[in-house]
Amino acid sequence: MSTAQASPQVKKVLPMILATAIFMQMLDSTILNTSLPAIAKDLNESPLNMQNAIVSYVLTLALFMPVSGFLADKFGTKKIFILALILFAAGSLFCSLSQDLNQLVAARIIQGLGGSLMTPVGRLTLIKTYPKNELVQAMNYAIVPALIGPVLGPLVGGYMVDYLSWHWIFLINLPIAFIGIVLSLRFMPDYTSKILSFDLKGFLIFGAASFLLSVSLELLGNSVQITPILLFFLLGFLMLYFYYRHAKKEENPIFPLNLFQVRTFRVGILGNLATRLGISSVPLLLPLMIQIAYGQSAVISGWIVAPMALTAMLGKSVVIRILNRFGYRNTLMANTFIIGILICSFAIPGIHSSIYWHIPIIAVLGFFNSIQFTSMNSISIADLRSYHTSSGNSLLSVNMQLAIGFGVAFGLVVLKLFEGDTKLIHNEIHNAFRYTFLVIGGLTILSGLVFRRLHFRDGENLQTKEA
């Protein structure tokens, strides 16, 4: 099937199909955090052991995301996407039926298998369906759940645990997956590509690198022992070096090295890694600060963060106009600077200030986050050739997953460092959060320099009229 054969109805529905996958994945990754204490109590486990339920999912994503492009090319985007939805729904159902931690971890691995294919294959279908000048508009609609999910997750999770039971945080995925499957059966294009061979050795090496780096990130956020963290980090980067050596010799590597000769792709990958150091930690640090420093409930912290989702949708409505007027280079540099300033602004209200002073900052941040994600994701694939689309899209998905992990782990590490310096924070935990926001906000400002490497005309092939 080619781009020209995609009907107007398919083009209209396809972003909604991808949105169901992104929404489930983003909601699931945040909703569980709120519910871990309740699940631990019901399964007679220590809350600390429940971290295995999160780690098993993250590691499965890291391990199998690299193969998503190959599977879609070989068996068809429609078949693999529907399989991914079925696996994610089945994993969710098994999670809700789990009677002990081992069963829950096994169910989360099944969920992870589905999650590792859902978003990359859905986005690949989007890239192959739309011409370049319509792609930003399509991605714009599909990406909104990625902005709303992390905000709604703690709020929905808090209510479900308080008023229903923890089982519902998994069961909520079933109707969403059902809608996605029904829409996919009717409207999802089924693209395949001619493949020479599968680079099994490259997949194993790169998968090991992703796995080791993900383990180190999980340990970084939850462990005080530095030796195993450094060991996993070093092994992860060593495996990346081995992959580089392998890809130079391999005729058809799973991720060709000449992908990085495309400037927009290279800058998009680096920009995602750099800017998410600050952006990804905010949805975790804000609710923590509201609950720990201000002593508010999980539900109240969820409501205070909720405006971010509304303004994210507002940002979606103007991002194309902004990109058409200022271009990708200027937009991303200025937008990253603004986001950094806003993150620093969370340090302004003191412990005796009203907690509601954070709401305007949160609302404005949601608006600029929306612009940031749409711009970064679209410029990354702007100049990829058709034979690089699948591998480039898969690598972008792996990079985003690791970038989010880096951001969360980095935010927690900085917070713990300030928390341990009682003289600096004057035995006031709120000051630790304030200094943390200043550090990650400052780094976000500096990360905007990555986008200086873009040419002022980069992304012109993506420009389109407003919808």
- What's the pLDDT tens digit per position in 51-65? 677 778 877 887 888
Q: Is it the case that residue 1 has pLDDT exceeding 60?
A: no
Out of 153, 176, 198, pick the residue that ends a domain. 198
Mean predicted confidence (pLDDT) in 444-454:
90
Mean predicted confidence (pLDDT) in 420-428:
70
169/284 same-domain check: no
Task: Please tell me the distance from the alpha carbon of residue 459 to that of residue 451, in angstroms, as a whole number.
Answer: 12
**39, 44, 48, 52: CA torsion to nearest 10:** -70
Reading the block at residue 311, the tokens are: 């303004």
Task: Please tell me the distance from the alpha carbon of residue 141 to that of residue 18, in angstroms, as a whole number.
Answer: 9
Range of lowest pLDDT (39-43, 143-147, 242-246, 428-432): 143-147
466/336 same-domain check: yes
Reading the block at residue 315, the tokens are: 């940002």
Task: Answer for the pair 370, 414: CB distance below 8 angstroms, yes or no.
Answer: no
Domain tally, the chain? 2
List of residues 6+ apart from 280 with CB closer than 8 A: 403, 404, 405, 406, 407, 408, 411
440/327 same-domain check: yes
Q: Is it the case that residue 94 has pLDDT exceeding 90?
A: yes
Read off φ and ψ for residue 22, nearest 5 degrees. -65, -40
Q: What is the pLDDT of residue 82?
A: 94
Residue 4: inside a domain, yes or no? Answer: yes
Q: What is the pLDDT of residue 337?
A: 95
Task: Please tell me the distance from the alpha carbon of residue 60 to that of residue 373, in angstroms, as a whole number.
Answer: 24
Higher pLDDT, 153 or 318: 318
Q: What angle is formed at CA 220 by the lines to CA 144 and CA 52, rounded to 5 degrees? A: 75
Task: Indicate the average pLDDT of the chain.
Answer: 82
Residue 240: inside a domain, yes or no? Answer: no
Q: What is the CATH number of the domain that holds 2?
A: 1.20.1250.20
Task: Answer for the pair 314, 453: CB distance below 8 angstroms, yes or no.
Answer: no
Q: What is the pLDDT of residue 366?
A: 87
For 37-82, give the secondary structure using H, E and C: HHHHHHCCCCCCCCHHHHHHHHHHHHHHHHHHHHHHHHHCHHHHHH
17/109 same-domain check: yes
168/74 same-domain check: yes
Mean predicted confidence (pLDDT) in 440-456:
89
3/138 same-domain check: yes
436/328 same-domain check: yes
- Measured CA distances, 463 to 236, 313, 326, 451 (Å): 38, 20, 11, 18
Q: Is it the case that residue 4 has pLDDT exceeding 60?
A: no
Task: Please tell me the distance from the alpha carbon of residue 433 to that of residue 430, in angstroms, as a whole number.
Answer: 5
181/280 same-domain check: no
Q: Is it the case that residue 338 has pLDDT exceeding 50?
A: yes
262/166 same-domain check: no
The distance in angstroms from the start CA to the end CA of the chain is 26
Host domain of residue 180: 1-198
Mean predicted confidence (pLDDT) in 382-404:
80
Higher pLDDT, 55 or 414: 414
pLDDT in tens, 278-301: 888 887 788 778 878 887 776 777
Q: Is the dihedral of CA 205, 207, 213, 219 positive or negative?
A: negative
Range of lowest pLDDT (13-17, 149-153, 396-400): 149-153
pLDDT in tens, 34-53: 676 777 778 887 765 666 77
Mean predicted confidence (pLDDT) in 167-172:
84
For the entire predicted model, the pTM comes to: 0.80
Q: Is it the case that residue 167 has pLDDT exceeding 90?
A: no
pLDDT in tens, 307-337: 887 888 788 778 888 888 888 889 999 999 9
Task: Please tell me the distance from the alpha carbon of residue 313 to that of residue 148, in angstroms, as a whole number.
Answer: 9
pLDDT in tens, 110-131: 998 998 899 889 888 888 888 8
Residue 424: inside a domain, yes or no? Answer: yes
DSSP states of 368-392:
HHHHHHHHHHHHHTTT--GGGHHHH
What's the pLDDT band for 196 if we cut at 50, 70, 90? low
Read off φ and ψ for residue 224, nearest 5 degrees. -100, -10
Q: What is the pLDDT of residue 194?
A: 74
Residue 31: inside a domain, yes or no? Answer: yes
What's the pLDDT band for 156 if we cut at 50, 70, 90? confident
Q: What is the pLDDT of residue 238?
A: 92
Higher pLDDT, 345 or 392: 345
Task: Answer for the pair 136, 290: CB distance below 8 angstroms, yes or no.
Answer: no
- Torsional class of 427: left (φ above 0), alpha (ψ -120 to 50), beta (otherwise): left
Q: What is the pLDDT of residue 3?
A: 45
Residue 246: inside a domain, yes or no? Answer: no
